[in-house]
Structure 1
Amino acid sequence: MITDPFFYLCAIPAVLLYGIAKGGFGGNIAILSVPLMSLVMPPQQAATILLPILCTMDLVALRTFRGRWSKPNLRIIIPAALVGTVLAWLSFHWMSDAHIQVMIGLIALSFTLNIWLRRGEPPARGVSRWRGGIWGTIAGFTSFGIHAGGPPINVYLLPQKMEKTLLMGTIAVFFAVVNFSKIPFYIQLGQFDTSNLLTALVLLPLAPIGIRLGFWMLQKTNQELIYQLCYVFLFLTGCKLLYDGGRTLMGW
């Protein structure tokens, strides 16, 4: 088990951020968790420690949002995400985290800038099999290595302007399926060891605390503000990922 105090100084807020996001408040802030833990360990190890915690959070989130999700969307994006997960597993040894960071960063920035610079309020979009298939596959792919599936799936779901609890419940179900589907692939790749699993177990009690805090914040915030926060966090996430990935690729 990891005993370095500096690790827990980074890991505790990282886990709480993920919990708050899964509780429904500003979902894209979760993208900061792996980079935060990466200050003290390799990103892949950080993602491995987080995965059992995320799966536990997913179970709590499913209970919190029980029955409040969009079945038409889930029937499209879940199968697509599973395809993306398999593709990520197959390309695990040649697709670096930096490439994925740059890809997600460009997606997040282009999407939010398009929303903000467009004149007038864009009309709400409906469920789309082809858009859901594309963005669901990308979300499954980018979620595999660094748990960064939030921005792509938000690109698909946010323009639908669903009621806030329905939106967050749909996202909760989506990532519950995606995260549990990653477990056998992580085992096959040899990502889990005793140290990582014991460290995850120590951090596990923070999972329900973060989710309950996020759900409470969701209920106390009006819907328009929730959507605006999602767009802001998506933009900041894009900047962060583009910077981190570009710096690594450039060798800075």
Structure 2
Amino acid sequence: MPHAVFVTNVGFYIAGIPALLLTGLSKGGLGLGLGIVAVPLMALYLPVTQVVTILLPVMCVTDLVALWQYRGEWSWPILRLTIPAAVVGAGVGILVIHRIDTVCLRLGVGVMSVDYALRRGVFPWLRGRPHGRAVEAANDSVRPRPTASLAWGTLSGLASFLANAGEPALTMYLLPFRLGNRCFAGTTSAFFAAVNLCKLVSFSTLGLFSETTLTTSALLLPIALIGTYAGIRANRRLNSAAFTRCSCAVLLVIGLRLICTSARSLF
């Protein structure tokens, strides 16, 4: 039987198209971390590691688009602490990626999805109270705490490397600073552009890319770009609160299903 040059699972694409639209919207600056939706949805049909490998080239391209759009509108005081920490987290991911059982990884993604959905959508008071004035543009007035920056940066880098799930950790770290829409989008764009570049080199070294994963990435790229440009256009025009709540509800259902299926496999 000839080897397929792309993923042929129909369910994967049915789940992947809306997931990538949400990811693109998040990359474009709308949704506050909704890119985490992609892996849980696609992981219903493929192993988590394969899903992450397929998504990585797509994310690298959308990162460049967002980085150009929000160039110079990021918070350097935050980035200079979190990016090195994220590289450390990715390094830890390199060491453990082949030692983590697929079922456990799927369970971890499910737990993180449920936790994030509850914090952002169902019980937003769990996020904690924001402090200070909103920072409407990139400047040096932000004074992040080094310990928190290093901890959250490392966690985000590790979660991103293993399951493309670094956005919730970074989002929960950034929310108390009350960054303006464009400053928030620029900071997350710069952070994940650096993280995904590191991942791209690491995944290539580990031999995770194949003809199948790269061809599938190319097929999905236009969907992600549509979402990214839509997110960029909507960044200043739409109130994302209702959109985020609805997406968190979907994420909650997906996360619960991943937890249930993983628990059945384990027990």
Q: TM-score, normalised by structure 2?
A: 0.80
Q: Distance in 1 between matches of 2:110 and 2:15?
A: 23
Among 39, 42, 47, the residue aligned to 1:37: 42
**TM (normalized to structure 1)?**
0.85
- For 1:193, the aligned partner's letter is S
Question: Sequence identity, in percent?
Answer: 34
> How much has 1:134 moved relative to structure 2?
0.4
Deviations 1:32-91 (A, max 9, x none): 112222233222211111110100000001011111100000001000000000011111
Query: Is 1:104 aligned to 2:112, yes or no?
Result: yes
| Whole-angstrom CA distance in 1 between matches of 2:127 and 2:215 | 49
Partner of 2:57: 52
The one-letter amino acid paired with 2:262 is: T
C-alpha contact (below 8 Å) 1:82/1:140 kept by paired residues = yes
- 1:212 corresponds, among 211, 220, 229, to 229
SS at match of 2:6: coil
Q: Does residue 255 of structure 2 align to residue 241 of structure 1?
A: yes
Equivalent pair of 1:56/1:207 in contact (CA under 8 Å): no
2:67 paired residue number: 62
Mapping for residues 28-177 of structure 1, pairs under 5 Å: 28-95=33-100, 96-98=104-106, 100-101=108-109, 104-105=112-113, 108=116, 116=125, 122-124=130-132, 126-177=143-194
Q: Which amino acid aligns with 2:29?
A: G
What is the DSSP-based 3-state SS (H/G/I as helix, E as strand, rest coil) of the residue aligned with 1:191? coil
Instruction: Name the count of aligned residue pairs.
Output: 248
Tell me, yes or no, if the aligned pair for 1:80 and 1:137 is still in contact at 8 Å.
Answer: yes
Mapped to 2, the partners of 1:14 and 1:108 lie a distance apart of 16
Offset of 1:122 from its aligned partner? 4.4
Q: How many angstroms apart in 2 are the aligned matches of 1:126 and 1:32?
A: 31
Gaps in structure 1 of 5+ consecutive residues: none
Indicate the residue corresponding to 2:135 in structure 1.
Answer: none
Amino acid across the alignment from 1:108: Y
SS at structure 1 position matched to 2:235? helix
- The one of 196, 202, 214 aligned to 1:185: 202
1:102 Cα shift?
5.6
What is the identity, as a one-letter code, of the residue corresponding to 1:210? Answer: G
Letter in 1 for 2:116: A
Q: 1:202: Cα distance to partner?
A: 2.1
Among candidates 186, 208, 219, match of residue 202 of structure 1: 219
Q: Deviations 1:127-152 (Å, cap 9, x if unpaired)?
A: 22111110010000001121000111
- RMSD (Å) for aligned C-alpha atoms: 2.9
The 8 Å contact of residues 105 and 239 in structure 1, kept in 2 or not, is answered as no
Assess if the C-alpha contact under 8 Å between 2:44 and 2:258 holds in 1: no
**Structure 1 segment 5-44 matched on structure 2, within 5 A:** 6=10, 7-44=12-49
